[in-house]
Structure 1
């Protein structure tokens, strides 16, 4: 599919990738989104919390959030409002331990939990209410979405997908996040993950601990100690290799739009899958010069961010 930048112009003084990344996290507020929560059981006797925003439409958008996010993040709520206003029901789901309550099992979530995503999709499809489902994903959720589409056998109801700020080469992205310029992001992620570890220590004492956690300074150390062994990977490198979506992009057969900003502070060059997109007629890669990581700030009367406008266009065959 042809590559495109689709011309995103950031507001004056908002062209810097770090500003684009941080500003929405702190200042963006989304009103008029009312969720109805549903808890579903997993095959391993755990649970997932799903947040629905519906209006009786026959089309559904399933939204997957980023690392240490939730359905309450502004970028999720903004997308929910955008699709609701354009004829789509929305289902935003929380990964295990991301809904405000620790999950019941030692396992948690990571870049490759396609089994949980598949469970959510199947649950929505079995309701018999929808003729079409679209997948939307941000950052980790974008990688997870691409991995599901390329590695698994997607549900026939899945007709389109749009993903943003995708670290499709996990090893390279981790290396970029470990750079001094990204130290604040890394410290914030590790602090939030530490809280999850502490919560899990209360739920299952003796099965997990945080002794020496202060020595963990990057995702390599965290994934070696927690993510990999808990989820059946040999080590961090094994986890990153098996859960990077980039090698599976050529195998995607659902119309898919990937939007990665060139000034995204989390994404190195290898996270822009130019070759993979160019050889797959089902995949469109959009690489605007600006946008940051899950940023794409816009100021307008409808309070829609540029990313939300692009998603709606793609979903409604106007792209």
Structure 2
């Protein structure tokens, strides 16, 4: 599919990728969204908390929202998307990954960029309700990689109910993204991610003192160190590089078989060159790749407290459903 020409051009102020990123992640406020929590059990004895919001009228369409690294279902980019989707006739199931709902998960493992088994459990749960004929995936950053990884792994073996997907600010190549995050210009972003990850790890240490030591935690100086010391060990990878290789969605994009829109901004400082999969999109008629010049990371500011990607998502779904 030819690359989609983007029409997004924000005001001069929000042409700054950093300002767009910070505004969306820290300053934006969403009112008028009511969420109801449902807890589901996972096959390994753990749980996921799902935060639901509903369309004003009964519907057989639902959007599964997937947040980014150390996010949750209350982040503005999730609640903003939920509100827009509810207003357009979709119920919304916003997933909190393991350990991200305000309560520690039960196992030593948690979540990661390729934990498609947890996404599959959510999809199976929604299908079991026998309400929804159309299920849409929408993921942000890590959640975008997770959604696309799931679609690529499944290929043509997807549930019939799964109709389309949208992925925003996707680190398609995890190692490429990591290298960008470790650059000096992203120091404050990386520092904030690391701070939250270590706080979670300290909590997990109290539950699993034999699995993680104070010495282990003291060795974590960068995000790669965290993935070497915890992510890889807890989830069965040899090391961080093995994790990045095996969980990136990039190698599987060619297998995607339902209409899928990916929106990655040129000025997203979290994404390396390999995170703009132009050749893969050109070869796959189901994959629509849009690369706006502006937007930052999960930013895409637009007037009326709507983001460009929220508006673009509804237009895309109108076209493909």
Structure 1 length-normalised TM: 0.97
Counterpart of 2:252? 248
- 1 or 2, which has the higher helix percentage? 2
Counterparts of 1:198-213 in structure 2, within 5 Å, are 198-211=202-215, 213=217
Counterpart of 2:282? 278
Counterpart of 2:183? 179
Counterpart of 1:82? 84
The root-mean-square deviation of aligned C-alpha atoms, in Å, is 1.3
The 3-state SS of whatever aligns with 1:298 is: coil
Q: What's the offset of the Cα at 1:204?
A: 2.8
8 A Cα contact 2:216 2:229, kept in partner:
no
Structure 2 length-normalised TM: 0.96
Counterpart of 2:241? 237
The 3-state SS of whatever aligns with 1:211 is: helix
Q: How many Å separate the matches in 1 of 2:39 and 2:232?
A: 27
8 A Cα contact 1:224 1:235, kept in partner:
yes
Residue 35 (structure 2) pairs with residue 31 (structure 1)? no
Q: What's the offset of the Cα at 1:206?
A: 2.7
Q: How many Å separate the matches in 2 of 1:120 and 1:285?
A: 26
The 3-state SS of whatever aligns with 2:14 is: coil
Q: What's the offset of the Cα at 1:217?
A: 2.6
Alignment length (residue pairs): 317
Counterpart of 2:14? 14
Regions of 4+ moved over 4 Å:
none
The 3-state SS of whatever aligns with 2:106 is: coil
Counterpart of 1:3? 3
The 3-state SS of whatever aligns with 2:50 is: strand
For structure 1, the residue ranges without an aligned partner over 5 or more in a row are none
Q: What's the offset of the Cα at 1:212?
A: 5.2
Counterpart of 2:61? 59
Q: What's the offset of the Cα at 1:155?
A: 2.0
Q: What's the offset of the Cα at 1:23?
A: 1.3
Counterpart of 1:317? 319
The 3-state SS of whatever aligns with 1:162 is: strand
C-alpha distance 136-187 of structure 1, shift in aligned 2 (>3 A): same
